[in-house]
Structure 1
């Protein structure tokens, strides 16, 4: 069976798209964050530079919680018992603060090395 040049190009494009999607998923670093009535566990998250950051956030507290980072322009509100994911683009080395907007004393930092 001989493919036309259009069909071959379409097949190659589809194959490269799948390969790029798999490679893109592999470059993410996943960390877990527990938020519970003003407590963040862990409060310090260390990740490598140049990798997407995938934070699996879970609210195990009795009240609402909100993951927020002004520097990273991210926020996510979670009802009690809820969990969600915050995805952050690759960052340069440095420290990026985050907090629970409903419990202002709950503060953490993402350290990119």
Structure 2
């Protein structure tokens, strides 16, 4: 009886520590010289994806997209996580609101 309880407890513990996102559900973006790298990313339609945005600049940035309704300040030298989606297939723009002309790029959803 004790083995069953221990086994069940281990199964429950494993379920608790499972990551919320698989590695292919994470998009890593870097912001340097007010430009995103990579320039343009692709994600699957109908799926929620985590963007990890790292700001390598000495000034804050504001990740923003009017197209997919996301907005988050990224302090200088820091990283933030932003949940995106699920979205329908198409092309969506995003940028650093503080340096919009330099930073415009796109998200392709397939």
The alignment partner of 1:102 has SS state of helix
Separation (CA, whole Å) in 2 of partners of 1:24 and 1:36: 28
Residue 104 of structure 2 corresponds to residue 107 of structure 1:
yes
Return the offset for 1:25: 3.8
Residue 31 of structure 2 corresponds to residue 64 of structure 1:
no
Separation (CA, whole Å) in 1 of partners of 2:31 and 2:20: 28
Residue 70 of structure 2 corresponds to residue 81 of structure 1:
no
Separation (CA, whole Å) in 1 of partners of 2:19 and 2:71: 27
Separation (CA, whole Å) in 2 of partners of 1:83 and 1:65: 11
CA-based RMSD of the aligned residues comes to 2.4
Considering only CA atoms, is the larger Rg found in Structure 1 or Structure 2? 1
TM-score, length-scaled by structure 2: 0.76
Greater share of residues in strand? 1
Unaligned runs of 5+ in 2: 2-11
